[in-house]
Amino acid sequence: MNNIKFKGTTLTKLSFVGAVTFSFMCSSITSVNAGHHGNVYGPYPITEKSYKGTKKNSVSYGGQMARQLLHNSLKKLASTGSPSDPTLAPEKKMLAYLNTKDKSKSLPIMDPKNSSKFPVKQKMIGELSGGANLSGKADKRIQTSWPGNMSGVDVIKFMIKKAGKTKGGVDTRNGMNYPQLISKYTMGAVLYHQACDNYLDEKMTASSKPNNKPYKKGAYYTGKEHSWDEAFGYWGAAAHTMKLSAAQSYDVAKKKDLKAADYNKDGVVDLQTEMTYAHAYYASSYDKKGKTNYLKTVTGAFIDGRKLITAADGNKLSEAELNKIQDYVQIICSNWEDVIAESVFKYAGSVYKDLSKIEKALASGSGMDKAMSKYLKHWGELKGFAMALQAGPDNKSDTFNRMNRMMGFGPLMPNLSQVVGIDSSGNYIKDQGSSIGYYKLHMLKIQNLMADKYALKAKINDATGGMAALLEEVGTKKSAEND
Amino acid sequence: MEIFYQYLETISENFFDPKKRVFLGYLFSAFLISFMWLTFVKKEKIKQAVYKIFDKKIFMSKSAKADYILFLLNIIILMFLSPLLISQLAIAHFVFEYLHSQTFLTPLGIDINYMWMIPIFFTFCYFVLDDFTKYVTHALMHKVPLLWEIHKTHHSARTLTPLTIFRTHPIEGVIFVVRSALTQGIVIATFYYVYGGNITFVTILGANLFSFWFHLFGSNLRHSHIRINYWSWLEKIFISPAQHQIHHSIKKEHHNKNFGVAFAFWDYMFGSLYISKSDEDVKFGISETEHKYENNIIYLYLSPLIGIYKLIANYVSSKNLKVKKQKFIFNKQTR
């Protein structure tokens, strides 16, 4: 309104030029998208020169999809814990999904299970890969975010052991929601860690897994092709993601949209290529709100990178090509990292809200069970994602230390107790924590820390976002004026 | 070029944004009120009333012209100074975080049935508290000699028009920006904390509901030659245009009176209220005798700085601590 008067005359001339330019830009962008991303991840031709077999498609990431399904299944099983089961069956079953390589095709997929609304092609983990487990690929570094100085895989085993002996997997005395902790941490310690700290890191250097040699003896794919495919598999996006909206990808993960999932129209969802998993699912959950485009940015970079490797036609990648690959890696891993940081931000906001509800429940004497249930679920998600964030290649130790310190090893309970360590028998050690107000303040500071250190845009559950909007509404004085 | 557009935008914003006092809609309502006042209450003829409202001698006076120039120049100065000042968001974050570490004020559990009341209550409280900090700041501008030197610029106006609000030294502009940021930051953060984020402003055309009504009912007439007074009981609650004009009077008995902006009860509470009298003659300015350069722009910018320099020089040379305190820190005789 206030610009119209003085810009009016130029606007009429400019608007014509602007409209033409804008139309031109839009058509250019559309054609760029069609050329780069408007397609599917694979199939790509065989370029490995030593291969003499009959295969036509060099894409292979069955092991990664098996791990996505092992992770999904583990999460389901983590809520089956029972303190009264002397056989430790729940723990044993979970450990099977952590450690087993399902060569015999005997490990059923727990999620997604076949249904009439969402029929799936594979029923057993081994149908995707008989040589993949989770434990072999988990982060081996010592985890300072969890008590006990354990490696990543030991942390998961510890959580599984606890979950197996806890009713429903939720320890209400210490505040541990194991299905959330196990799931979110595994997403980081295995999936994100393997992609960004292994396949897209060491294996994208000139000397490691070169493109002019097979990935392993007799393989139909080159070293670089397979390393890239493996990383894509860990991302968890359906191969035809670029053809779907973020909301469709989200609904595919939620098993609500068979039509969007079934790309080859064979009536079933191929869990290898047509399903959305883990990190890609979280990216879609943020993107569908409209402020971000994580899913297509990362998936598009994967497709562009794979095309570049394929175009090398089985020859060694040049320095320029390797540099270009590094550009794609940068896009993939920084956005992936941001997706996890968005989750930390989101759940810190959820925990903040839950604590307010707990304060109200304490004051009124009612509604505590419901408030606690949500609080422990959200805290588990927060902690799990915070631990996952630390599984990446870029170890921001100062940021992580601050985040871990503010979050603690366990949630602050209404009686102000908090887990501070583990004794030699694996039992939690608790101490008196701060006040609820202080712990809420820590959640605010965690949100600020994430916003400062990462390029967050979605910022779901921003605890101070409403305050900023109110201040924006009252505006600032730009003129020197008396009253 | 972008800065130039920004400058033009800020100028136009003042007239087209309903959050601003000189929004054209409010200026029009001020005209209607003064027209009705002159024709219905003062029984003046329509033509006479219109001539009086748009009196050329007022709007084209040297004093008014200086107001217009200061308005245009100060925007440029504030454009460069504002980014250097602490933002209301930084203050709000500081206060909001502090509130989590104390136990005196705790978040309230609001019954869902009363949720609708919160925005109205919050909007009203914000308006009242904002008005109070304006009162305090204004009173300090008069009572503290250093600040009075700066505030003199505003009071040097011999004629009052709605744009006299912009007859303000840039340092005073900065003080008001900081006051505004502190009030916004503290009040919004506190309410946000207490009501668990369930707060919104009630607005009309984007302006605070109560600010909107305050401006619609003639806030622009405070700085005008149309002397509208209320019943004396009402002048203890709301500051009438006549009461603010008295605040600009050169008469000694009017000095340090009616600091309030919307509400008069602050003046009533703190002993600075002056109820207007219909037969009272009011002449605007600082002193009876006109200073040669009182409407000279350079003088208006420099004289407060010279005044401050003189005060500091006197303060440093004065050895009597009691005199120092009386003369330079808080002086009842300032205005």
φ/ψ of A432, rounded to 5, equals -80, 125
Q: Per-residue b/e over A469-482, b at no fewer than 16 CB within 10 Å?
A: ebbebbbebbbbbb
pLDDT at B331: 60
Contact predicate B285/B157, CB 8 Å? yes
Closest Cα of chain A to B137: distance in Å?
Answer: 10
Across the interface, whether the CB atoms of A464 and B201 are under 8 A apart is answered no
Tell whether B221 is within 8 A of chain A (Cβ).
no
Interface test with A, best of B19, B82, B88 (most A CBs within 10 A): B88
Q: Report chain B's C-alpha Rg in angstroms.
A: 21
CA gap B144, B148 in Å, rounded: 6
| Angle subtended by helix axes A223-235 and A294-311, to nearest 10 | 170
Q: Find the CB nearest B197 among A363, A466, A475.
A: A466
Q: Pairing state of beta strands A417-422 and A428-432? A: antiparallel
CA gap A198, A444 in Å, rounded: 33
Q: Find the CB nearest A467 among B5, B177, B189.
A: B189
pLDDT at A25: 45
- Helix, coil or strand: residue A170: strand
Q: How many CA atoms lie within 13 A of A221 on its CB side?
A: 21
**Residue A414: both structure tokens together:** 């209404």
Cα torsion at A149, A152, A157, A163 (round to 10°)?
90
**pLDDT band, residue B324 (cuts 50/70/90):** low
Model confidence pLDDT, tens digit, residues A129-180: 999 999 999 999 999 999 999 999 999 999 999 999 999 999 999 999 999 9
ipTM of the complex: 0.83
Q: What does the DSSP 8-state code read for residue A431?
A: E
Interface test with B, best of A362, A440, A478 (most B CBs within 10 A): A478
**Residue A405: both structure tokens together:** 């310190």
CB neighbours (10 Å) of residue A426? 10
CA gap A60, A478 in Å, rounded: 60
> Exposed, middle or buried by CB within 10 Å (0-12, 13-18, 19+), for B169?
buried
Contact predicate A305/A325, CB 8 Å? yes
Question: What is the maximum alpha-carbon separation in chain B?
Answer: 65
Across the interface, whether the CB atoms of B188 and A359 are under 8 A apart is answered no
Chain A residues in contact with B99 by the CB 8 A cut-off are: 437
**pLDDT band, residue A14 (cuts 50/70/90):** very low
Across the interface, whether the CB atoms of B96 and A444 are under 8 A apart is answered yes
Percent of residues, chain A, with pLDDT higher than 90: 84
Model confidence pLDDT, tens digit, residues A72-94: 999 999 999 999 888 999 999 99
**Residue A311: both structure tokens together:** 């175009």
Model confidence pLDDT, tens digit, residues A238-289: 999 999 999 999 999 999 999 999 999 999 999 999 999 999 999 999 999 9
CA gap B100, A441 in Å, rounded: 6
pLDDT at B113: 74
Kindly provide the residue ranges of all beta strands, DSSP E only, lying in chain B, ordered along the sequence: 203-204, 207-208
Q: What does the DSSP 8-state code read for residue A430?
A: E
Reduced 3-state DSSP string for A356-390: HHHHHHHHHCCCHHHHHHHHHHHHHHHHHHHHHHC
**Residue A62: both structure tokens together:** 């069955």
| Angle subtended by helix axes B88-99 and A436-453, to nearest 10 | 150
Q: Please check the confidence at residue B221 and state whether its pLDDT lies above 60.
A: yes
Tell whether B133 is within 8 A of chain A (Cβ).
no
Mean pLDDT, rounded, for A347-355: 96
Contact predicate B75/A478, CB 8 Å? yes
Q: Pairing state of beta strands A428-432 and A170-171? A: unpaired
Which chain B residue is nearest to residue A360, measuring alpha carbons? B109
Residues from A contacting B (CB-CB < 8 Å) are 1-3, 5-7, 356, 359-360, 363-364, 435, 437-438, 440-441, 444-445, 448, 463-464, 466-468, 470-471, 473-483
**Residue A452: both structure tokens together:** 């400062």
Percent of residues, chain B, with pLDDT higher than 90: 78
Q: What does the DSSP 8-state code read for residue B290?
A: P
| Angle subtended by helix axes B209-216 and B117-143, to nearest 10 | 60
**Residue A266: both structure tokens together:** 């064979």
Positive or negative torsion for Cα B136, B206, B240, B304: positive
CA gap A34, A323 in Å, rounded: 24
**pLDDT band, residue B204 (cuts 50/70/90):** very high
Q: Please check the confidence at residue B39 and state whether its pLDDT lies above 90.
A: yes
Contact predicate A120/A263, CB 8 Å? no
Contact predicate B294/B156, CB 8 Å? yes
**Mean pLDDT, all residues of chain A:** 91
Model confidence pLDDT, tens digit, residues A312-329: 999 999 999 999 999 999
Pick from B228, B75, B67, B241: which is nearest to B158 by CA? B67
Residue with the bigger pLDDT between A479 and A297: it is A297
State the count of interchain CB pairs (< 8 A) between A and B.
137
**Residue A181: both structure tokens together:** 């902790």
- Helix, coil or strand: residue A309: helix
Q: How many CA atoms lie within 13 A of B41 on its CB side?
A: 12
pLDDT at A31: 36
Model confidence pLDDT, tens digit, residues A428-449: 999 998 899 999 999 999 999 9
Contact predicate A268/A127, CB 8 Å? no
Residues 6+ apart with CB under 8 A from B114: none
Question: What is the maximum alpha-carbon separation in chain A?
Answer: 86
Model confidence pLDDT, tens digit, residues A37-56: 448 999 999 999 999 999 99
CA gap B212, B214 in Å, rounded: 5
Q: Find the CB nearest A479 among B74, B201, B208.
A: B74
Within 72-131 of B, beta carbons closer than 8 Å to A belong to 74-75, 77-79, 82, 87-89, 92-93, 96-97, 99-103, 106-107, 109, 126
- Helix, coil or strand: residue B102: coil
